[in-house]
Structure 1
Amino acid sequence: MKHYLITLSAIIIISINFSCNKKVEKTVQKNPSKTLSFIKTSGTKLVDEKGNEILLKGTNLGNWLVPEGYMFKMEQVNSPRKIDELLYELIGPDSLQVFWKGFLDKYITHDDIKYLKSIGVNHIRLPFHYKMFTDDLYMGERNAGFKYFDKLIDWCREEQLYVLLDMHCAPGGQTGDNIDDSYGYPYLFKSKSSQDLMTKIWVDIAKKYKDEPVIIGYDLVNEPIAHYFENDLVELDNQLFSIYSRIIKEIRTVDKTHIIFLNGSIWASKFDVFKELVDDNVVYEFHKYWVPVNMEAIQPYIDFREKHQVPIYVGETGENTDEWVNDFRILLEEHSINWCFWPYKKMNNTRGIMNFNEPEDYYLITEYAKSDRSTYAKVRENRPDNVKVQKALNQYLENSLYKNNFVNKGYTKALSFKVD
C-alpha cells in the first residue's frame, strides 16, 4: 500500500511537471520573447548583438498618446489640453472620459502593429506625454503610461518590431508651442522642478525596461526649442545640453544597454547644442519637413556623423506629396541615414500610411473649433447640437479602427513598403 502511494505520488508529480512544461512551451510559442536582439551603436552604424547592421525604417504613432489639433481637424485648438477642453464643452465630463477610453483602445491596436510588420516596417516611434506618468488627469486617466507602453510592447514583441519611446511633451514644455502642450515658452529650461520630474520619469522608464530588447532606445525630448527663441539660443542650448547630460547620467545608473536618442535644437534641426559627446551609445536625431530634396538638406548631419563617427536618424519627416516622400526616402537611404516618417494614421488625409473617413456631422466639431469661445456666453451661443456631436465622435472611434481604415497606397509605396 505504501509502495502504491509512492508510485501514485510520483505519477502525479510527473504529470504535473509534464503539464507545466507543456504550458510553458505553449506560452513561448505564442509569445516568442526576446528573439529580437538589443541594438547598439557601432561607429556610424546601428548593429544587433551579432554585429549585423540595421538601418531603421519606420513610422510614428502620432496622435495616439499625444492628440494633435490638426489631425482632429480643429483650427486653433491644437494641443492636448485645448482639445480636451473643447470636447469637455461639447459633451461634458462623463462622455469625454468614455471618448478618451475608446480612443486609446481603438486608434492603435494589435492589428495596426501586425499590418506595419507585414509591409516591412522595422520599428515605430511612440510619442508620449509626460503627464501619463503623473497624477494629472490626462486623456481621462492618471498614471496610465506603463499601461499603454506595456500593451504596445507586448504587441511589438509578438510581431518582432522595435519601439522607440519619444517624450513628445516634457514638463514645463520644451518648445513653447502647441506640439508639447506648453504655455507659450519653453519653461523646461527655466524650471528645476520640471527638469527633476523629467529626469525621474526617464529613470523610472529605464528601470522598468532595462532588460527589454523590443525597446530600441529612449528619445529624451522631441524638437526642443522653437525658432521663436533664437535670440536666446546660446543660453537655451547650454541648458538643453545640461539636461541631456544629467538625464543620460541618471539613466546609465540603472540601464547601461539601451541607446539614447538626442534631438538637435530649433525643432531638431541644429546640432550646435552638442558641445561634446557624453555617452558612447547615442544616436543624434534631426527632423526635416518641407525642404528641397537635395544634399544641402542633409549635408550638415552627414558632416557631424563623419566627424564624430556616430549614427544619425531622421525621427520625423514626410507630410508631403508622394513624389517628395519617395525622393527624400531614396536620398536618405543612399546616404545610410536611419529614418522614421510622420505619421502612421490620419483622418481624411493622404499624407500618411493609413487613412480613415471623416464621420457625418463631424464638421459641427471643426466649425465649433473655429468659433469664438472667448466667453461663457459665446460657448453657449456657438455650441452645436449635443446629440449630433456625440454621434460623430462615436463614429470617429469606429472609423479609426484598423478594420475600417484604408491604405494610402501612393504614400506607402513611396516609402518602399509593401502595398497589396
Structure 2
Amino acid sequence: MTRPAAPGASTASHAGSRPRDLPFLLLWGGQSVSAVGDGMALLAIPLLVLQQTSDPVLAALAATPQTIGYLLSGLVAGALVDRLDTRRVMLACDTARLAVFTLLTALALAGAAPVWVLLGLAVVAAVFGVLFDTAHAAMLQGILAPAHLVAGNSRLELSTQLGVLAGPALAGAIAAGPGAGVCLLVNAASYGVSVVTLWLLPRDAVRRERGSGLSVRRAAGDLREGLSYLRRHRLVRAVCGLQVVVNLLLAVETLIVFFAVHTLGGGPAGASVALAAGAGGGVLGASIAGPLGRRVAAPTLISGALLVLAGALAAASAAPSVAWLAAANLVIGLTSVLATVHIRALRQRVVPPELIGRVTATARTLAVAAYPLGAVLAGQLTAMTGQSPRVAFAVAGLLGAGAVVVGHRTGLRPAAQTTT
C-alpha cells in the first residue's frame, strides 16, 4: 500500500489544510461555476458551426478543441507552470479565456463569425485551458495535505461531471430560445467568477516562482528534466503507461452515438439517453472516489476500476437495446472517473512540487494523444466489419482487460511495493 508521501515526494505548504478550509472552498466554488460554463460550450460551439455548414469534418473538429489544445501546448504548459507562480498563471489564463469567449459571443450574436474563426478562437481558449489545468493540479498539491488529495480531487471531478451533465442541457434550452451565442456569454461570465475566487485566495495558499526567468534553453532543460523523472520513477511511469493504453482503447466510446442510432435504432433520443448515462456514471464515480479511497489502496483501486471499465466495454458489444448500452456506458463513466481521481491524487502525492507541472502535463498529453488515434482505429474496425461497432467494443474490452492485468502485475503493483 502506498504511503501518503513517498521519499522525495511533495511536502504540501499547508500540511493541515482540508477540503473544508477556505482556500479549497474558494477554488472549488470558482471551478464549479466554470465547469457549468464549459459544459455549455461543449454543445454551443458545435451548434454554431452546424448553423453554417453540414461538413462532417468541421463538425467533428468543433468537438475537439481541448484535444488539439493539449497536442499543441501540453508539454510546454508543464515547463511554464513549474517555473511560475501558479495563482498568477491561473488568473492570466481565465482572464484570457473570458476575453476570448466575450469576443466569440460578440461575433456569434452579430452573425459575423466564419467557421474557421470560431474554431480558431475555441482552440486558443483550449490552449489557455491546458495551461490552467496544469497549474490547477500544482495548486491543489500546495493547498491540501497529502491525506486529503483524494477527497479534494473527487469533489472537483464531481463538479466537472455535473457540468458535463447540466451544461449541455442548459445550452440546448438557451440555444432553442435566445440562441447559442448567449451560451458563450454565460461561459465567459463563469470565467469571471473563477477570476474573482482565485483573486480572493490567501496569498500563502500557493507556491511561489522557483525559477529566475524564462528562456528557450531553460524551457528545453525543464522539459528534459520532467521527462527524465517520468522515466525514472517506476510508479508514476507505470500509471502513465496504463492510462495511455486504456485511453487508446476507451476511444471506442466515440461510437456510442453511432451504436445507439444506427445499430440499435434508438434515434436521437436513444443517443441522448446513452450519453446522459455516461455522464451520470461520472457523477457517481466522483461521489464514491473518496470513501473507496479510504478502504482500498490506490494501485489496487485504479487497476480494479480499469478492469471493470474493460468489462463494461465488452458488455456493450452485446447490447440488444439502448437501455443495455446506457447501463454499460454508466459503468464506463463511473469507473473512468474513479480511476482518474485516484491517478491524479497519487501523482500529486509522490511527485515533487518543482516537477508536478511537467509530469502532469506530460502524462495528460500522452493520454490525450492516444484518444484520437484510438477513435480512428475504432472507426476503421467498424467500417471493416459491416458498419457494426460491436466488434470494436469487444476488441477494446478484451485488449483493455489484458492490458490492465499485465500492467498491474508487471508495473503498478511492483512499483507501489517499492514505495511502501
TM bracket (short chain)? under 0.3
Q: Pick the structure with greater CA Rg.
A: 1
Bigger fraction of residues in helix: 2
TM-score of the aligned structures, taking structure 2 as reference length: 0.22
TM-score of the aligned structures, taking structure 1 as reference length: 0.22
Q: Taking CA–CA contacts closer than 8 Å with sequence separation of 6 or more, which of the two structures ends up with the larger relative contact order?
A: 2
